[in-house]
Each structure stands twice: as C-alpha cells, then as structure tokens.
Amino acid sequence: MTTTESTTVSQALPAAVEVHDVHKWYGTHRVLDGVDLTVRPGEVTVILGPSGSGKSTLLRVINHLEKPEIGYVSLNGELIGVRRHGKRSEMGVPPAEGWGRLKELSERAILAQRSRIGFVFQNFNLFPHLTVLDNVAAAPVATGLLRKPEAQELARSLLSRVGLGDKTTAYPRQLSGGQQQRVAIARALALRPGVILFDEPTSALDPELVGEVLAVIKDLATSGTTLVIVTHEIAFAREVADRIVFLDEGRIVEQGPPSEVLDNPQHERTREFLSKVL
C-alpha cells in the first residue's frame, strides 16, 4: 500500500469492547446466559463453539442489532444502544455499583453508534443494484462522514487493499462469493470503525474461495484493528487470535491464548468440541 493509500484508508483508533452480564432470550429459550467479555484495543478475539451456542447472537448484541434483556455493552466506555436513566440511588445500590435503569436510545442515535462498529455478515448483504464501488462508498455518504467524491476515492483505495481494484464497475452478481465477501470487508472498513465484527465470514463460501477471504482478515489482524471473529476455521483461529473464547449454551466456559485453549483445553465441553473439529 502506498503512503497516500495508507492515509486515505486509515482506521479509527482501535476500540475496547465490554460485554457485561448479558442475557438474551428468544421466547422461553435463553440464548445468552450471563456473558461477560472484555476485548482490549487492538486485540483479535476469536469465538468458537457448537452451532446454537449463541455466537452470532453475541455479535449482534454487541452492535445492538439484538437488544439484551439484561446487561449492557460498551465501546470505549460508552454504552451501546442505551443510556443511563434515573439516579443510581433510586436502584438501591451504592454509586460504585450497578448502572441504574437503562433506556433505549433513538434509532438515529443507535445508527450513529453502529457506524463505529463494522459488521461483516455470513451472506455478504451487498446491495445488488449498486456497483462494487457504490456499495463501498454508500455508507460514508449516508452517514455524512464524506462527500461522494471523497467516499468514492476511499472506496477505490479499500477495494485495492482487498485485491479488487479492477472490479469497481462490477455488480455483486458478477462476482464470486469470495469476491463479494471481500467487498463486504471493504464496506465495513469504509466507516473507519474502531472494531470489526465477523460473523462466520467464510461459512457461505465454496472451500476453494475461503483462503482469499481469510488472507484479507489476516492482514487486518496484523494492522492493529480490534477484531471479534466467529468462525469454525480452527487453523485460522490459531494463527490470528490473541485470545480464543469458547461459548457453549450461551455461556463462556473457557477463554485464553490459542496455545492454551486449543492445545490444552481445561473444560470438558471444549475438549469434546475440539475432538470433533481438529
């Protein structure tokens, strides 16, 4: 990447993410059961676990696509999706404890917060009627971050970064799945988020296309960007993660460096899961 490109596509400062005692139900089914998680700035956290363990729901709670019934999420100390309401003394707790009542923010305020949290979905979620360039440039224009010419310049730089500089005029239907996912990553980067969430970014890809997407994420992992990645790619997790979090039945049952969790798991459920996927 040239110096000019580096300046153009510079990220916001890496963000810290805190998930505090989060509970989430769908009807009578408890999907998240008291999740506590802290992601330090610049850290790459990989979330593993069996299907139905709550991994994708946890990501969606982090950027308030899903609202927790109990608990909260903060980004660099700022509550996401809610604000404190009322005095803590009204809750009968000392000032140093609890958060008082939490009140939902307006949709506009929530959208503004989400612009600081990039999200890469399993199924790309590109706009089929827009070119690749306009897919990437749309969000910075819509949020008022950049004017259209500046956003398009940024989009070109980001598309070059993910190896798609020659596809600016193409439409999503003209791209392979791997190329579409790389466009989705460029789109997430366009808002210069403090953290990027990846929800099984290779699960919808044919096996021969997985590598090209993982290579882009590896590049991000070495750039100091805060990443939270849900994946079943164990070898990839071992290579990029600073920390592995194992989630089972909505609870974090084990977490630590890859060398500990993957090579010497302490919890029976972690050992059982890894024995099936390694």
Region 154-172: mean pLDDT is 97
pLDDT in tens, 191-249: 999 999 999 999 999 999 999 999 999 999 998 899 999 999 999 999 999 999 999 99
Structure token digits, residue 17: 């993410």
CB atoms within 10 A of CB 140: 22
Alpha-carbon gap, residue 78 to 262, rounded angstroms = 33
Distances (CA, A) of 202 to 16, 210, 243: 25, 6, 20
In a domain, 172, yes or no: yes
∠ Cα 44 126 11 (to 5°): 40
In a domain, 106, yes or no: no
Number of domains observed in the structure of the chain: 1
Distances (CA, A) of 212 to 185, 186, 219, 267: 12, 14, 11, 33
pLDDT in tens, 17-62: 999 999 999 999 999 999 999 999 999 999 999 999 999 999 999 9
pLDDT at residue 252, as a whole number = 98
In a domain, 3, yes or no: no
Beta pairing class for 117-120 and 101-104: unpaired
In a domain, 277, yes or no: no
Do the beta carbons of residue 223 and residue 11 sit within 8 Å?
Answer: yes
pLDDT at residue 19, as a whole number = 97
Structure token digits, residue 166: 């020659």
Q: Read off the pLDDT band of 86 (50, 70, 90).
A: low
Do the beta carbons of residue 125 and residue 184 sit within 8 Å?
Answer: yes
Domain that holds residue 171: 120-192
Do the beta carbons of residue 75 and residue 105 sit within 8 Å?
Answer: no
Region 8-21: mean pLDDT is 79
pLDDT at residue 278, as a whole number = 82
Q: Read off the pLDDT band of 175 (50, 70, 90).
A: very high
pLDDT at residue 87, as a whole number = 53
pLDDT in tens, 237-246: 999 999 999 9
Q: At what angle do helices 177-189 and 148-161 cross, to 10 degrees?
A: 130
In a domain, 182, yes or no: yes
In a domain, 219, yes or no: no
Q: Read off the pLDDT band of 91 (50, 70, 90).
A: very low
In a domain, 185, yes or no: yes
Q: Read off the pLDDT band of 129 (50, 70, 90).
A: very high
Alpha-carbon gap, residue 243 to 259, rounded angstroms = 9
In a domain, 34, yes or no: no
